[in-house]
Chains A and B, each alone.
Chain A
Amino acid sequence: MAWWKALTHKKIFWPLVALALIMCFNLFFTPNFFRLEIKDGHLYGNVIDIIKNGAPIMLLAVGLTLVIATKGIDISVGSIVAISAGVVAMLIGGDLQGVPKYPIVFAMLAALVASVLCGMWNGMLVSRIGMQPVIATLILLVAGRGIAMVTTNAMIVWLYAKPFALLGQGYLFGLPFSIYIVAVLVLLTALVTRRTALGLFIESVGINPTAARFAGINAKNLIFWVYTFCGLCAGISGLVVCSTVMSADGNNAGLGYEMDAILAVVLGGTSMNGGKFYLIGSIVGALIVQALTTTIYAFGVPPEIAQVVKAIVVWIVCLLQSKTFRSMFLGMFGKKELAS
């Protein structure tokens, strides 16, 4: 039984089980869920769709994982997505012939700069002024939508510049292009946090900021840069979102994404109380969220109602993370294993 124990004690185990359960459910109840087709050299199918549509949430989850690891939270990511989409759309312009107003690369860079600035703003409020992360990012959550609406003059901007579509709709080696963006971002983040001491620093700040400071870690700067990074991730996500629908809608772009991203991170095994973080877990978490959404849609339920299911899942996951609930639950089934 030692291998079983070793397996179930791996943090990534339970998220994978959850994902497998949803997939099994689909295997039996949704016809043709696992059918893959090759059209024009691309893979098509529900599974590919899950990965493709999950890309924006995965990108957000990467940045948010680090923020939550520092015992913070960023609920403004959805608004940063809208700002990034708005900036890139305004700079490329809605020319019907698809001639961009400014070079596409320049527009994308400008959008990323805007979102990094948003992240810096959050980071400054949390680390320098010492506001609670929820309130600090709540400001941008609301004001950010206003900024996005003002950027796009409160209109939906439609884009026709073909090359820009690659980001969200394109394919490379038969797979959606956005997967590669996620892969590169995760790989780089994992390298920087796991191959250097940075990951350890982030975790120590999340567990006990005072102790971390006494150990010589510049907690303030660290927190600042973590929020900035989260802004950057949200910016990239915004580019992918904008490119997928080839339009920027300040009102609806990235709406409710903060919820999905937080859910992904928490499902992936990173605790809301800060400390240890699991990047791959968050990616699996994002896949769970997307698979859940796709499954609900497959049953013909309107997307708006899917929120109810997600909210219930969040409550359940929170309960499972609560110590009181666990001991209560274990207490109901005898008193074994309370010590572990």
Chain B
Amino acid sequence: MKTRSIIKSRNLPMFITMCLFVLMFGFGSFTFKGFFSLQNFFDLFIDNAYLIIIGVGMTFVIISGGIDLSVGSVLALSTMLSSSLLEKSHMDPILVIPIVLLVGIALGLFMGLLIQKFDLPPFIITLAGLYFARGLCYVISLETIGITNDFWQKASQMQIYIGSSFISTSVVIAVVILLAGMFISRYTKFGRTVFAIGGNEQSAILMGLPVARTKILLYGFSGFCSALAGIVFTFYTQSGYALNGKGMEMDAIAAVVIGGTLLTGGVGSILGTLMGVFIFGTIQLLIAFQGTLNSWWTRIAIGFLVFVFCFLQRVLETRKGARASAAAPAKAKGSAGTVKA
């Protein structure tokens, strides 16, 4: 009985998110003509494919109790790298894609190594990573590099029809990553270890789980997602530009948090993150359909939503904490101590 109520309160943020999405989409459908259509729903996928991919990596990092602020810059770096390799070095796309992905993974692994091996705060290491990757973009080129490669052109123009509506290549990639993320988080040893680390790192170590390896791999995976998102982003823009993805780390964190993943770690889901991305996309659509509001209001709205959901998380946590301490005061004190450690 008691466990059931806890599970419910854990899933509560995600239910709220789903309801909010339905409400917002419904509001848009009633207010604006042409808002309610299958294509408009698919556009949520098409326009935010890169954000979904980044969000999957970010969800893992946040579930483990860490954070990765470098995602937006790594995305920009991968757009710059792929466009410059394609256009300036005239490399084959079959070579370019692995190289770009490897750079992302390497940068992620490096940051993970610093964080795990030397016990450094994730946010400061990844904040430095943010500036490092952004700076490297400018080292490659200060200007936009357009992509004229055939393969890239084809990949970006391909439309897969479902009924009378269509989706793009990037959506297929995003959905594959999404499904892979769901599978990894639920059914693999790696995924379970991530949850265990986020719940209580000390216990995870005592249980004999490969905490160090998992933590380093985690940031590598996030780097991989960011680099892949960068490639998807170039399908979208057909160019590399150093300012791409500015502030995207916040969008990704917002999507994850709105999706019900706890920032303290241990609780979260990939599906929730998808919902978070949908809400993000719907806000953008609403502001676009409304037409008179400055697009900067999106930022403010996202900031506000993150605040609301963080607040909600805190309220749920303190209520849960109060209930636990009422049941067993000594135990609650012990767990509070370990959380700090």
A interface residues with partner B (beta carbon < 8 Å): 73, 75, 125, 129-132, 134-136, 138-147, 149-150, 153-154, 256, 259, 262, 272, 302, 304-312, 314-315, 318-319, 322-325
Binary A-proximity of B290-329 (CB < 8 A = 1, otherwise 0): 0000101111101110110011001000100000000000
Pick from B124, B135, B296: contact of A262, CB below 8 A: B124
**A73-B123, A308-B131, A308-B139 known; 12 other A-B pairs, CB under 8 Å?**
A75-B127, A131-B310, A135-B306, A145-B296, A146-B296, A154-B294, A259-B128, A304-B142, A312-B128, A318-B124, A319-B118, A324-B118
Does B129 belong to the interface (CB within 8 Å)?
A: yes
Residues of chain B within 8 A (CB-CB) of A324 are 117-119
Q: Which residue of A lies closest to B136 (CB)?
A: A308
**Minimal Cβ-Cβ distance residue in B for A266:** B124
Q: Which 8 A-B pairs have the closest CB atoms?
A: A143-B303, A146-B299, A308-B135, A307-B135, A311-B132, A304-B138, A314-B128, A142-B250
Q: Does B125 interact with chain A (Cβ within 8 Å)?
A: yes
Q: Are B242 and A130 in contact (CB under 8 A)?
A: no
Specify which of B130, B138, B296 is in contact with A149 (CB 8 Å cutoff): B296
Q: Give the shortest distance, in Å, between A254 (CB) and chain B (any CB).
A: 14
Please state if B129 and A322 are interface contacts (CB–CB under 8 Å). Answer: no
Rounded to whole angstroms, the CA-CA distance of A306 and B142 in the bound complex is 13
Is B100 positioned at the interface, with any CB of A under 8 Å from its CB?
no
Q: Does B34 contact A (CB under 8 A)?
A: no
A318 to chain B, nearest CB (A): 5
Select from chain B the residue with minimum beta-carbon distance to A250: B296
Q: Is B128 in contact with A322, judged by CB distance below 8 angstroms?
A: no
CB pair A304–B299 under 8 Å, yes or no, is no
Check if B171 is an interface residue, CB within 8 A of chain A.
no
Q: Is the CB of B131 within 8 A of A142?
A: no
Give the Cβ gap from B136 to chain A, nearest Cβ, in Å: 6
A140-B303, A143-B304 given; A129·B131 CB < 8 A = no
Give the distance to chain A from B314, nearest Cβ to Cβ, in Å. 5
Chain B residue at minimal CB-CB distance from A148: B296
Q: Return A292 CB to nearest CB of chain B, in Å.
A: 13
Which residues of the partner chain B approach A136 to less than 8 Å between Cβ atoms? Answer: 310
Instruction: Please indicate the chain A residues that have their CB under 8 angstroms from the CB of B135 in the complex.
Output: 304-311
Check if A256 sits within 8 Å of B117, measured CB to CB: no
Q: Does B210 contact A (CB under 8 A)?
A: no
In the complex with contacts A143-B304, A306-B135, A307-B131, A150-B296 CB distance below 8 A: yes
Q: Are B117 and A145 in contact (CB under 8 A)?
A: no
- The answer for the CA separation of A130 and B114 in the assembled complex, in Å, is 27
Query: Which of B114, B247, B299, B318 gathers the greatest number of chain A CB atoms within 10 Å?
Result: B299
Whether A150 lies near B128 (C-beta < 8 A) is: no
Q: Is the interface of A mostly helix, strand, loop or mixed?
A: helix
Contact yes or no, A312 B247, CB < 8 A: no
In the bound complex, CA of A149 to CA of B300 (Å): 10
Q: Which single member of A125, A132, A144, A259 contacts B131 (CB below 8 Å)?
A: A259
**Do A125 and B250 contact each other (CB < 8 Å), given the known contacts A262-B127, A305-B139?**
no
A319 lies within 8 A of B114 (CB)? yes
Q: For chain B, which range describes its interface: under 10, 10 to 19, 20 to 34, or 35 or more residues?
A: 35 or more
Q: Which of B228-259 contact A (CB under 8 A)?
A: 242, 247, 250, 253, 257
Q: Which residue of B lies closest to A130 (CB)?
A: B314
Tell yes or no: B67 within 8 A of A by CB: yes
- Say how far A166's CB is from chain B's closest CB, in angstroms: 31
| Min CB–CB distance A136 → chain B (angstroms) | 8
Chain B: CB-nearest residue to A313: B128
Contacts of A308 in B (CB 8 A): 131-132, 135-136, 139
How many angstroms between the C-alpha atoms of A206 and B136 in the bound complex? 35
Within 8 A of A (CB), among B168-207: none
Contact partner of B114 (CB less than 8 A), chosen from A132, A143, A315, is A315
Known: A129-B310, A130-B314, A322-B118. A145 touches B299 (CB 8 A): yes
Expressed in whole angstroms, the Cα–Cα distance for A324 and B120 within the complex equals 10
| 30 A-B residue pairs with CB within 8 Å | A129-B310, A130-B314, A131-B263, A132-B264, A138-B253, A139-B307, A142-B247, A142-B299, A145-B247, A145-B299, A146-B298, A149-B294, A149-B299, A256-B131, A259-B127, A304-B138, A304-B242, A305-B139, A306-B135, A307-B134, A308-B131, A308-B136, A308-B139, A309-B135, A310-B128, A311-B128, A315-B128, A319-B118, A322-B118, A324-B118
- Whether A311 lies near B314 (C-beta < 8 A) is no
A325–B264 Cα distance when bound, in Å, is: 26
Residues B247 and A305 in contact, CB atoms below 8 Å apart = no
Residues of A within 8 A of B250 (CB): 138, 141-142
Q: Smallest Cβ distance from B108 to chain A, in angstroms?
A: 14
**Interface membership of B121, Cβ < 8 A:** yes
With contacts A131-B310, A262-B127, A304-B138 taken as known, whether A139 is within 8 angstroms of B303 at the C-beta atoms is: yes
Q: How far is the CA of A142 from the CA of B300 in the complex (A)?
A: 8
A131 and B314 form a contact (CB under 8 A): yes
Most buried by B among A136, A141, A304: A304
